[in-house]
Amino acid sequence: MKKDKFEKKNVDFLVDEASRRIEEMIVTAELKPGVIVSEKEISEHLGIGRTPVREALKRLEGTHMFKFLPRKGILIRVVTVDELLLQMEPRKVLEELVVKRAAKYAFPEEREQLRKLATEYRKITEEWAPAIEALRIDDEFNRLLCKASKNPFIGQMLLPQHALARRQYYLNYFIDKELTARVNDSHARLMDAVADGNVEKALAELDELFVNLKQFNSISLSTWIQLDQDH
């Protein structure tokens, strides 16, 4: 019995690790939009067995970042501006709910962590750190916000939607630095408002964030393939 439990924990860990790394490979365009890859190629590249990779891909299917092609492989999708803007409609409703609940119900240590993330977000913006650093802070913020909402169903619906947004964010990070700085500042101010428990201000900051994100998501996706991967 103990051995079975240990093996299950190990498999769960590998699935989590494979999910994180596959998503990051797509978000950062290491796997570029339009390419077709196989489960075997991903498994060998990650050094993780095919079973955890298969389970990770099933878990990530709801992100709409890729599509399974029977007998061909996995197509990394090119996502249109229209799709991104349409996705923002249901996402905004869920974001409002999670922000309200997190502002009301977050534990003191969660509020402290939100303030810490806001400080880190401002610092990387001032220093123009690599986009991947901003990406990881944003991911941590989204997961913390869902946890602080004390409603696990929200996270199950909302977190998969963030993957496409993170890919757009990463690939357009250096195209319009002024706009990127506004998006980052909106995130930091939202974190502070939630940490302060100010529901009205948090919702106002969320509205401002979505105004900036709509503009950010409207940047031409033709830049994706051409972007310098050193960013």
Domains annotated for the chain, with CATH where assigned, are: 2-76 (1.10.10.10), 81-226 (1.20.120.530)
Give the separation between CA 113 and CA 75, rounded to whole angstroms.
Answer: 37
pLDDT of residue 221: 53
- Convert 51-62 into a string of H (helix), E (strand) and C (coil): HHHHHHHHHHHH
Phi-psi region of 47 (alpha: psi -120 to 50; beta: other; left: phi over 0): left
Residue 142: count other Cβ atoms within 10 Å of its Cβ: 20
Q: What is the pLDDT along the chain (231 residues), one digit of tens a residue?
A: 444 654 555 778 899 999 999 999 999 989 998 999 999 999 999 999 999 999 999 999 989 999 999 999 999 998 888 888 899 999 999 999 999 999 999 999 999 999 999 999 999 999 998 888 999 999 999 999 999 999 999 999 999 999 888 888 888 888 889 999 999 999 999 999 999 999 999 999 999 999 999 888 887 554 444 444 444
The neighbouring-strand residues paired with 66 are 76
- Helices 50-60, 39-46: crossing angle, 10 deg rounding: 110
DSSP the chain: -HHHHHHHHHHHHHHHHHHHHHHHHHHTTSS-TT-EE-HHHHHHHHT--HHHHHHHHHHHGGG-SEEEETTTEEEEPPPPHHHHHHHHHHHHHHHHHHHHHHHHH--HHHHHHHHHHHHHHHHHHHHT--HHHHHHHHHHHHHHHHHHTT-HHHHHHHGGGHHHHHHHHHHTTTT-HHHHHHHHHHHHHHHHHHHHT-HHHHHHHHHHHHHHHHHHHTS-TTHHHHS-TT-
The vertex-133 CA angle with 224 and 174, nearest 5°, equals: 40
